[in-house]
Amino acid sequence: MSCDQPPLKTSADLLRDRAADRPVATLSEVFSETAADGAVTGFTLANLDPAHGPLLWIMDRITRKECGIPYLAGFPREWEVIRVDVSRPVDVLWSAEQGLGTPALGGVIAEVWGDPPVLDFTATKRLALRAEANGVPCWLLRRAAQPALSAARERWRVSSLPSGNHPWDSRAPGQPHWKVELFRSRFRAPGTWVARYDAERHHMDLDPPVAQVRTPDAAAV
């Protein structure tokens, strides 16, 4: 009689197990390469859905000055937004926690400039647990920041790419393209994609970048 050992799990199996009990909403962090890049805002909005409820948008003072305020005329859909203007990062975190305790919200976007000491592992863990408990997605937008220790379940780095072709005007910028890099994730394998966003349908396609696609071809040749 032998007590057979359970087969050793590969890292992919572990990820798959985790992906199975992935919560509907969680804390994600988005870093931007340059401070005033609209790609971060666009990518965050592309991941949210106005049908789920109003959006709580919390900004600190420097973000408001450097990156501007949300402009609903340019949003892909009609969206209900409650904007909170605070000056200190600790107030951003407090307001975000209050918002995450309200299940009626469709999402919380918190923008923090730089690396304030209050935004540590404990603070992000609190946000992540609250978001998962109440099912409200929380997006922490970080600008001019270093990706230090954090409990965010998914951490992205987003930057703009030259846009797609405009259907009628070859000189005009067309569909937005972003380079999105998932550099830390709890539920899926990290990777880099080119995101193509269709504002008409409010839908984002993630394609592997051309460089990665070409690699097997090059190996075959």
**Nearer Cβ to other proteins (22/166):** 166
Toward other proteins, which CB reaches closer, 84 or 151?
84
> Minimum distance from CB of 102 to other proteins (Å)?
5
Q: How far is the CB of 136 from other proteins (least distance, A)?
A: 11
Evaluate whether 117 touches 90 at the Cβ level (below 8 Å): no
Element (H, E) at 121: helix 121-134
Residue 16 or 33: which CB sits closer to other proteins? 33
68 vs 208, beta carbon nearer other proteins:
68
- CA dist 49 and 206 (Å) reads 17
Q: Which residues contact 101 (CB under 8 A, 6 or more apart)?
A: 130, 134
CA distance 155 to 184: 5
Which CB, 179 or 186, lies closer to other proteins?
Answer: 179
Contact 160, 38 (CB under 8 A): yes
Closer residue to other proteins, CB minimum distance, 15 or 84: 84
**Residue 17 CB, nearest approach to other proteins (Å):** 34
Question: Could you tell me the smallest distance in angstroms from the CB atom of residue 198 to other proteins?
Answer: 12
Q: At what angle do helices 89-100 and 121-134 cross, to 10 degrees?
A: 20
CA–CA distance, 179 with 194 (Å, rounded to integer): 5
Please state the closest distance from residue 114 (CB atom) to other proteins, in A: 16
Under 8 Å CB-to-CB from 88, ≥6 apart: which residues?
60
**Site of interaction with other proteins (CB under 8 A):** 34, 36-39, 41-43, 45, 53-54, 56, 64, 67-78, 80-86, 91, 94-95, 98-99, 101-105, 159-163, 166, 169, 171-173, 176-177, 197
Q: How far is the CB of 131 from other proteins (least distance, A)?
A: 15
Q: Which two tokens stand for residue 10?
A: 């590969």
Q: With the C-alpha atoms ordered 152, 153, 159, 165, is the resulting torsion angle positive or negative?
A: negative
